[in-house]
């Protein structure tokens, strides 16, 4: 096998791992943020607490895993922020302030591993769709969730859909599904 073919095999394997661990290749997640926030890779890396070369390696598939749980927690925070229907209504100053809060957020390893625990539901960044995702991914891998969805699909299609949308789907799809499915009482 040639060196270029070996390199391509590594990239394909890493992207498959990313899909299993994070629901999709990290390149897709990072690209959406870069486009939505109109920032450079260097700026996004700094906000997440990564080096620019590490972000590049994760995007290109040269590396598979985000090694620091705090970085993953900040990634999820910024995805929830830009996925919010309120994001487009924020002034430039308010957006910058919100992004600075994400940038300066230093969750403990334990908190980051729990995906910000109960704060996902009750804190200032409450996000029920992210909470459902956190629960599902805490108990099963993406592959396990897909297998469970396949087993349930015929008899319980609604449950299968929840496993697919919240367990393996994109954050924006989960938010849309949540809005369409759940009616929350007014505050």
What are 112-169's pLDDT values in tens digits?
333 434 444 444 456 777 777 777 776 677 777 788 889 999 999 999 898 888 887 7
User: What confidence tens digit (pLDDT) does each residue in 105-122 have?
Assistant: 755 433 333 343 444 444
Average pLDDT, the chain: 81
Exposure class string for 29-67: b at 16+ Cβ within 10 A, else e: bbebbbeebeeebeebbebbbbeeebbbbbbebebbebe
Give one DSSP letter per residue of 102-116, joined into a string. HHH----HHHHHTTT
- pTM of this prediction? 0.58
């Amino acid at each position: 096998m040639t060196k270029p073919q070996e390199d391509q095999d590594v990239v394909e394997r890493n992207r498959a791992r990313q899909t299993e661990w994070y629901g999709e290749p990290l390149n897709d997640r990072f690209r959406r943020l870069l486009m939505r926030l109109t920032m450079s890779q260097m700026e996004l890396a700094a906000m997440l607490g990564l080096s620019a070369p590490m972000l590049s390696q994760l995007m290109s598939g040269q590396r598979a895993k985000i090694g620091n749980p705090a970085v993953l927690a900040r990634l999820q925070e910024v995805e929830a922020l830009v996925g919010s229907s309120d994001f487009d209504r924020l002034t430039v100053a308010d957006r910058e302030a919100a992004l600075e809060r994400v940038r300066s957020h230093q969750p403990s390893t334990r908190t980051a591993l729990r995906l910000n625990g109960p704060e996902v539901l009750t804190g200032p960044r409450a996000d029920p769709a992210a909470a459902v995702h956190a629960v599902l991914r805490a108990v099963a891998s993406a592959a396990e969730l897909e297998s469970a969805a396949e087993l349930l699909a015929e008899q319980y299609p609604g449950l299968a859909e929840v496993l697919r949308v919240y367990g393996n789907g994109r954050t924006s799809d989960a938010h849309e599904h949540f809005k369409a499915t759940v009616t929350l009482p007014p505050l």
